[in-house]
Structure 1
């Protein structure tokens, strides 16, 4: 089961991956003290899924106990933490694909339980190749308003359960948020292949579904004002949607790739992309197809490109190249930010949410 992924048990791999993923876990809303406790004893990355899953199960049990006592808020927050930990359990290119699938589905189930308690107005939106949650602002100031929509698009090994801080920050600024899994992501990670064209169609179908069902909800969406927010590989996927779907009014790309070079990938990325795309041949073809410059002539909407100066992922956005290909784009460069800028949330997240709100609410 592990012969084709020997690096997972290589000396030092667990410690290195744990350190690299720590800011990402923080960005996903995981308490770092808990993260350190869960990962401290790992000797091999093959132990990662079960360690994270055990943390998720503990939170789920606590949620059920809180619900039994009528502590609804606590129960919802614990279910949401369970969703985060189940998702983290699926981050590695797990050779046990049945386990990986189960962890993603449990993450999805925990998020459903969390939203049922915390945001009963949230709605599941599903169709061919996509599923997601539509959340809308709440509170007195939200009543009677029409909400623009920000579609959150995850990356190569991400899922709709990861980017809570981003969604909450957008909701606080008056935007509805649709966070989705597309082909090869989240609940589809083991049942379909990551493919840019298929993903683009899935997002467009999600927008179609919004239009078809918007009138059946008790909230009013402004579907003339839609943005996409893509994170990591999702940055490129979001750009592809914006380049081909005229309904997109603005796009923010967070740590998105400019171009990818297959030969520059470390084994971890090669293995992950191979699993998500379905085969080494498909993975290499996907990597070779990623080229933001090729999309540039079709990207006419306002663009925000967020990058961290300490991002070590090969091919990720760099301002010099983008300034040449996308002269109308704004660049938010955080010198000390890493990939996804989980170590610098205060330096990019509020400004990015403000930019999106300005692009949609004042357009």
Structure 2
């Protein structure tokens, strides 16, 4: 895949993450190869930090730094030698922006996780946002904003092999252990989960195995993976994030919700895009069908992570979690 094709493939993911589509076009038009992706996106992130230095108010500076965090995260979507350092820059920028824009937010870290808790002071429930194979807490900021607007607290996290932890840890299939530690650390009575991409598998698995989860939603989450069918780029990323080819194959073989889906007691919303067709990945229809309280939302024009269809699912997902956790009208 050349640089033009790669940029087109990630267009809706990047713009769905909140970067300006015109700037994305300008940056990617300048790529001569996919190898230029990380350095170019990193430079763009630093340009926003420079804008923050010249901003006319703390709020404007915080907004610029938050945009830098998005660009730094997107820079890591192509493996390169500085990816670990750039993930750290994304984490630092997000932390600095949140400190300015949401002074009530709190950092939370523990064994195998780190993230930010953002909440109304009287939130009746907390939603944990779980990222996927190469995503991170810096990617889903629109979702993180939609939940507090409905009165819910939200903890956006990186887990093992994800985001700022990718340089020092590896992905693990038994992610419910990590979610359990997050719930313990948050110390709240009502918990919801939303998982995106591979995070959908993590969230569904945790909902089946931890009875404290009172509501769950998945977006573009796999029901099952078949290592031999997966495209080489996906296998390469999984190999990197799990620590080797053998570990990646074992990990992929564990991603199968057939026996766990019937054990999910919580209300479940499964969101898929009909245009999200990846060889070796079984999408979420079976998860919704097998779960006792599952609902399936399939968006005909939606692609992976449905960055091209935000209005078709984001309000409904947010309302699903709000209704299930608080009893607010759906």
Q: TM-score per shorter chain, which class?
A: over 0.9
- Give the Cα separation in 2 of the matches to 1:318 and 1:229: 14
Distance across 1 between alignment mates of 2:283 and 2:221: 6
- Deviation of the 1:316 alpha carbon: 4.0
Instruction: Say if 2:139 is the partner of 1:162.
Output: yes
Which digits, 9 at most, give the CA deviation of each residue in 1:324-348, with x for residues without a partner? Answer: 4225300111010000000000000
- Native 8 Å contact 1:93 1:268 kept in 2: no
Distance in structure 2 (CA, Å) of the matches to 1:16 and 1:231? 24
Distance 2:124 2:49 in 1: 32
Per-residue CA distance 1:208-238 (angstroms, 9 max, x = gap): 1111xxxxxxxxxxx2221000000000001
Partner of residue 46 from structure 2, selected from 57, 62, 71: 57
- Counterpart mapping for 1:38-77 below 5 A: 38-66=27-55, 69=56, 71-77=57-63
- Paired residue for 2:117? 134
Gaps of 5+ in 2: none
Gaps of at least 5 residues in structure 1 are: 1-11, 138-142, 212-222
Contact 2:132 2:199 in 1 (8 A): yes
Structure 1, 56-65 or 200-209: larger mean CA deviation: 200-209
Structure 2 residue corresponding to 1:196, chosen from 153, 167, 173: 173
Could you report, residue by residue, the CA deviation over 1:254-276 in whole angstroms, capped at 9, with x for unpaired residues?
10001111112111111100000
Query: What is aligned with 2:105?
Result: 122
Q: Name the counterpart of 2:83.
A: 100
**Residue deviations 1:238-291 (CA, integer Å, cap 9, x gap):** 111111111100110110001111112111111100000000001011111101
| CA distance in structure 2 between the aligned counterparts of 1:306 and 1:345, rounded to whole angstroms | 11
Structure 1 residue 200, shift from structure 2 partner: 2.1
Q: How many residues align?
A: 327
The reply on whether 1:281 has 2:246 as its aligned counterpart is yes
TM-aligned CA deviation for residue 147 of structure 1 = 3.1
Return the offset for 1:161: 0.7
| Distance across 2 between alignment mates of 1:247 and 1:152 | 15
Question: How far apart, CA to CA, are the structure 2 residues paired with 1:61 and 1:229?
Answer: 34
For 1:73 and 1:318, locate their aligned partners in 2 and report how far apart those are by CA, in whole Å.
40
Tell me the alpha carbon deviations over residues 38-88 of structure 1, each in whole angstroms, 9 at most, x when there is no partner: 11121211110000000000001111221xx4x111101100000000000
Q: Kindly indicate whether residue 88 of structure 2 is the aligned counterpart of residue 88 of structure 1.
A: no
Q: Could you state the TM-score of these two structures normalised by the residue count of structure 1?
A: 0.87
Quote the Cα distance in structure 2 between the aligned partners of 1:333 and 1:133: 30
Where in structure 2 are the equivalents of 1:206-285 lying within 5 Å? 206-211=182-187, 223-285=188-250
Maintained 8 Å contact 1:136/1:147: no
Q: Deviations over 1:115-155 (max 9, x none)?
A: 11100001000011100000013xxxxx6x23310000000
CA contact (8 A) 1:83 1:106 kept: yes
Residues 333, 82 of structure 1: CA spacing in aligned structure 2 closer, same or farther, 3 A cutoff?
same
Is 1:112 equivalent to 2:78 in the alignment?
A: no
8 Å CA contact retained: 1:255, 1:316: no
Q: Distance in 2 between matches of 1:16 and 1:57?
A: 25
Q: Report the secondary structure of 1:227's partner residue.
A: strand
CA contact (8 A) 2:265 2:292 kept: no
- Inter-partner Cα distance in structure 2 for 1:111 and 1:316: 33
Distance 1:61-1:43 versus aligned 2 partners, 3 A rule: same
> Is it true that 1:333 corresponds to 2:298 in the alignment?
yes
**Cα distance in 2 for residues equivalent to 1:101 and 1:335:** 36
Q: What's the counterpart of residue 152 of structure 1?
A: 129
| TM-score, length of structure 2 as denominator length | 0.96
2:267 equivalent to 1:299: no
1:194–1:276 Cα contact (<8 Å) kept: yes
